[in-house]
Amino acid sequence: MSRVCILTDSTAQFPAPAFPGHELVNIIPLHIRINGHVHTDGKDIRAANLPPSAVKDPIPLALSPTVEEFHQVFSHLGTRYNEIVTILLSSQLSDTYRTALEAAETVKGPASIHIIDSQTTAVGLGVVVQKAAQEAAKGGNSAWINRLVRGLLPRIYTVFCLQSLTYLIQSGYLDPAQAIVGEMLGIVPFFILENGRLAQIQKVRNQRHLVDLLHEFASEFGDLKHIAVVQGIPVMETEARSLRDRINGDFPSATYSEHNIGAALATILGPRSFGMVAVENYTYI
């Protein structure tokens, strides 16, 4: 029996398509309820299938995996691994973390289950999972991986520009009146993910201003290991190209990746999102 595996959720996006330890990573999908039907993230629905505004009822809803689904995954992995390190998207964005805790209490078996609230999502979550898997592949135990992950999390910074404000109603970040009026007036807030929670820091005037804001955000850090852009629908090709050129010129030693937003995260933040993840160098962790 192998020693350690990593479990994460379907909002995770990885900077590299393949990395050491990727075979130890398992993914449990979130679900999306839209127009009375429940779809599985990553299988039968994409961000492009979501309406640009959620002003009409019923609002598309991102659903965490059920307790039963987590129980089944934990039980299955427990037959193959001694330890299951579970790293999930921020508990401030989804009930997935709390559901996993509840499910873990019902599992009977020899495998130990460790559950971590990453306080991030998308590429931020993917970076953490990737590093955890690399350490697991080297033979690291859950205690070491847990320590490494908690040391890495404060070095991951995420910001989002969100245009589909009505999608924030379901998570309680905006009340219906704020969200509807904000969309009608074309207000585009700029959020930072702080301690796992979205915090508005300013408003975006236009798309050129967005590029400037993201470039300024990245420039706040002196030693970056990786920078990632997460694009929503529709894709802003011109802005992404301009930002890429500026980032590559200013941070030649940092790796860079671009990603399309997944359906579950698009249901939480809205499909018209544009984000950036900056990861400080963590070679010394």
pLDDT tens-place string over residues 121-162? 999 999 999 999 999 999 999 999 999 999 999 999 999 999
Q: What is the CATH number of the domain that holds 272?
A: 3.30.1180.10
The answer to whether residue 244 sits within a structural domain is yes
pLDDT of 11 higher than 60: yes
- One domain, residues 266 and 202: yes
Same domain, 41 and 18: yes
15 found inside a domain = yes
Would you state the pLDDT for residue 35? 86
SS3 230: strand
> Given CA atoms 35, 39, 44, 46 in this order, what sign does their dihedral have?
positive
* Chosen domain end from 136, 154, 172: 154
213 and 147 in a common domain:
no
160 and 106, same structural domain? no
pTM assigned to the model: 0.94
Domain count, the chain: 2
E strand or H helix at 158, and its extent? Answer: strand 156-162
Residues 144 and 12 in one domain: yes
Kindly report the CATH number assigned to the domain that includes residue 42.
3.40.50.10170
The answer to whether residues 119 and 240 belong to one domain is no
Please tell me the predicted confidence (pLDDT) of residue 181.
Answer: 87
Please indicate whether residue 252 or residue 182 has the higher confidence score (pLDDT). Answer: 252
The C-alpha angle with vertex 203 and arms to 271 and 46, in degrees rounded to 5, equals 5
Is the Cα dihedral 108, 110, 111, 117 positive or negative?
A: positive
Cα separation, 120 vs 280, whole angstroms: 15
Output the six-digit token pair for 50.
Answer: 């979501």
Residue 1 pLDDT > 80, yes or no? Answer: no
Q: Do 147 and 11 sit in the same domain of this protein? A: yes
Same domain, 203 and 217: yes
Q: Categorize the per-residue pLDDT at 103 as very low, low, confident or very high, splitting at 50, 70 and 90.
A: very high
170 falls within a domain: yes
Residue that the structure tokens 């002003």 belong to: 55
Q: Tell me, yes or no, whether 285 lies in a domain.
A: no
Q: How many CB atoms lie within 10 A of CB 220?
A: 9
Band of residue 57 on the pLDDT scale cut at 50, 70, 90: low
Q: Which residue has the tokens 């499909």?
A: 271
Q: What is the mean pLDDT of residues 221-247?
A: 92
Enter the tokens of residue 94: 């989804």
Residues 212 and 117 in one domain: no
Residues 142 and 162 in one domain: no
Q: In which domain, by residue range, is 35 found?
A: 2-154
Q: Among 93, 122, 154, where does a domain finish?
A: 154
Q: How much is the pLDDT for 97? A: 98
Q: Are residues 31 and 122 in the same domain?
A: yes
Q: What does the pLDDT read at residue 31?
A: 97
Residues 119 and 131 in one domain: yes
